Amino acid sequence: MNCAEIKQIIQLYMDNELDARSTLDAQRHLETCPVCSRLLDALAEQDRLLKQAARSVPLNSSHVRENILGAIQKETSKSARRWFLLPMWSRVVAVALIAIVAALLLLRMGLLPGSNQSVYAAVISDHADHCSIDNLMGAITDSDELAKLIALYGNMKVMPDLSAFGFGESRGRVCKVDGVEFLHLIFYNREQQPVSLFLRPRSSQMIAEELRVIHRDNYNAVSISRSGIELLVVSSLDDKQTSAIAQALAAQLEAD
């Protein structure tokens, strides 16, 4: 590095803005060049003087701090007063709106009655436990018996049909989910992927009326409560396909 180059970067050197390599190059030159070294000293001294002088200016910061905290206090109580100065009707409307938004959020998060999270967890666990071929031993395959159960639990005269989605005939079993009895129908497609349909007459507020999708442990559980029936579909298909199957089943229930 020569003198001309040092002059170009001397400010960056003073302000520690050079990379390590350039800093070393500059240092080497400054150690051997008295002219550049004096220039650096003069500039650095000016900075030092300014910094020292500026930092020794007396500050009455405690008084400023008190003023700031006082102004904040005033501002905060003014905001609180503003609320109480509003007409009663507007406060009621505001509270109602907040309550509605909170209820919608809770409903969406599945935290209100009618959307019992433990039911979804239980059906997913039941699906995972009972849909392997080994565990299907003892499942009901007799069509007459299945028809009776479907009439009893689903209030349907015909068997639910998922052939449009590539799923064949179902097998059934009666199970208890979260302490409540459901008819569990299991359908398989050609790839041996199972889809579970849990069905029972609507008798509680366990399942929300709208379609709801819950994703848990790589499974999707979709619930619909319609026409006096509580219906849950569980599969490892994506949520769109699982929702489409649940909606098709709900439509079959309504049509029946």
Residues interacting with another protein, by CB under 8 A? 11-12, 15, 17, 42-43, 45-61, 64-65, 67-69, 71-73, 75-77, 79-80
Instruction: Note the Cα 86 to chain centre separation in Å.
Output: 36
Nearer to another protein, 84 or 89 (CB): 84
At which residue do the structure tokens 């500059």 appear?
26
Q: How far is the CB of 27 from another protein (least distance, A)?
A: 20
Q: How far is the CB of 201 from another protein (least distance, A)?
A: 46
| Total Cβ atoms within 10 A of residue 188 | 19
Q: What's at 106, amino acid-wise?
A: L
Instruction: Note the Cα 81 to chain centre separation in Å.
Output: 36
Q: How far is the CB of 147 from another protein (least distance, A)?
A: 60
Contact 190, 166 (CB under 8 A): yes
Q: How far is the CB of 101 from another protein (least distance, A)?
A: 19
At which residue do the structure tokens 């302000």 appear?
15
Nearer to another protein, 62 or 192 (CB): 62
Nearer to another protein, 73 or 132 (CB): 73
Q: How far is the CB of 43 from another protein (least distance, A)?
A: 7
Nearer to another protein, 43 or 248 (CB): 43
State whether residue 159 is helix, strand or coil. coil
Strands 229-235 and 212-216: unpaired
Q: How far is the CB of 42 from another protein (least distance, A)?
A: 8
Nearer to another protein, 69 or 251 (CB): 69
Q: 166's torsion region: left (phi>0), alpha (psi -120 to 50) or beta?
A: left
Q: What tokens appear for 35 in the block?
A: 């002219």
Nearest C-alpha neighbor of 252 from the set 234, 233, 232, 227: 227
Distance CA 186, CA 245 (A): 13
Q: How far is the CB of 169 from another protein (least distance, A)?
A: 57
**DSSP at 165:** G
Q: Does the CA dihedral 245-249-255-256 come out positive or negative?
A: positive
Nearer to another protein, 12 or 175 (CB): 12
Q: 155: burial class by Cβ within 10 Å (0-12, 13-18, 19+)? A: middle
Nearer to another protein, 38 or 215 (CB): 38
